[in-house]
């Protein structure tokens, strides 16, 4: 799995794991750009807005690597007062989580797909 561009974001403090939400804190556009640098071409991007002020409340992005056939997804929920959001990143259906300070897929980690510990 191509996560080196995500690892670069993490190494520079631009992608931070939050265990409480089991997701990443990051600027969504930076995550999307990293996935694009990893070879994923955008095929879908949608934004949701708040009913009150029409500010972005979250969004989803999907990309395909035409060489490998891999699919990457990023789903984010905006934070009210910050440019960063909680971002959930998957590649080929595997949640990208934290591993000794660097991103990894959930199949490499201590959690099973069902969310329980092994």
What is the count of structural domains for the chain?
1
| Confidence at 107, pLDDT banded by 50, 70, 90 | very low
For 3-39, how does the pLDDT look when each residue is reduced to its tens digit (9 = 90+)?
Answer: 788 999 999 999 999 988 889 999 999 999 999 999 9
With respect to residue 68, please indicate whether it lies within any of the assigned structural domains: yes
pTM for the whole structure: 0.78
With respect to residue 23, please indicate whether it lies within any of the assigned structural domains: yes
For 77-95, how does the pLDDT look when each residue is reduced to its tens digit (9 = 90+)?
Answer: 998 778 899 999 999 999 9
> Which residues span the domain enclosing 18?
4-105
With respect to residue 46, please indicate whether it lies within any of the assigned structural domains: yes
* Beta-ladder partners of 36: none
Residues 6+ away with beta carbon under 8 Å from 102: 7, 10, 11
């Amino acid at each position: 799995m191509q996560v080196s561009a995500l690892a670069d974001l993490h190494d520079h403090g631009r992608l931070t794991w939050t265990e409480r939400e089991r997701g990443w804190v990051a600027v969504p556009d930076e995550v999307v750009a990293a996935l694009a640098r990893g070879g994923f071409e955008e095929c879908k991007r949608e934004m949701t807005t708040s009913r009150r002020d029409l500010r972005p409340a979250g969004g989803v992005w999907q990309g395909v690597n035409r060489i490998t056939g891999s699919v990457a997804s990023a789903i984010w929920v905006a934070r009210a007062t910050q440019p960063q959001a909680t971002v959930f990143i998957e590649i080929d259906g595997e949640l990208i989580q934290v591993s000794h300070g660097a991103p990894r897929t959930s199949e490499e980690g201590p959690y099973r797909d069902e969310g329980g510990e092994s």
